[in-house]
Amino acid sequence: MNDGPPTIWEWIARNWDTGRVGSVKDLLGDHLVMSLVPIVAGLLLALPLGLASVRWRWLYQPTAGIFNIIYALPSLPIFMLLISVTGLSKTTVIIPLTFYAMAVLIPAVVDGLGSVPDHVRQSAVAMGFTPLRRLVQVELPIATPVVLAGLRVVAVSSISLVSVGALIGQGGLGMLFTRAYQNPFMPPVVVGIVLIVALALVADGLLVLAQRLLTPWVRARRTS
């Protein structure tokens, strides 16, 4: 009978779904929520701010400057400041990550819309497109590759930064790292790293697939 420490696979089998709070399955679900919400919320908030910055160019520099300052702030102190408002909850992690996402996505939206050639806009106007129709059917599709490139950066960084929340008890898979630190044992560390990397790769792959589906003309141009 083997009385030594369990292997990684044995540890996963014992801790994947224990029926108690803190199983690997639960931590993975928490990690997904705290990663996905900032990505979606950041995009939904960055789009109107980016559009406003394109419409009123004077707005872009102060907006980008504010979010660049936020992006430069370490996440842990922000978590500590938010605890007094949102408590030890997922929201405390989600809010800073949403701001970080916006810091990347607002310039991506502005640059993407700025990449639309003037003659394309003029052609749309000549064809009788309203400003809204021109935006939805012409400008946003052309800007999609640039915006999705920014979204890929946001997805990977959000999935990684969620683990820092473990220091306030809300880190998803990052909780495996704190457990290993408190009781030196390698399997939780290895499992946490592998799952976080796997999530990042899956998210990046899905966004690449989305870009191919949303911009078929780019693929056609490359193969022609």
Residue 131 in any domain: the answer is: yes
Instruction: Give the model's pLDDT for residue 39.
Output: 94
The pTM assigned to this predicted structure is 0.86
Residue 56 in any domain: the answer is: yes
Total Cβ atoms within 10 A of residue 93: 33
Over 80: is that where the pLDDT of 180 sits?
no
Q: Which domain holds residue 131?
A: 20-223
Residue 222 pLDDT class (50, 70, 90 cuts): low
Residue 9 in any domain: the answer is: no
| Amino acid at site 163 | S
Q: Can you tell me the distance from the alpha carbon of 34 to that of 175, in angstroms, rounded to the nearest whole number?
A: 13
How large is the C-alpha radius of gyration of the chain?
21
Question: Both tokens of residue 151?
Answer: 């979204």
Asked if residue 148 lies in contact with residue 211, where contact means CB atoms within 8 angstroms, the answer is yes
N-term to C-term CA, the chain: 64
* Number of domains, the chain: 1
The CATH code of the domain that includes 69 is: 1.10.3720.10
Over 70: is that where the pLDDT of 219 sits?
no
Look at 5-19, 157-171, 180-194 and tell me which has the smallest mean pLDDT: 5-19
Mean pLDDT of 196-215: 91
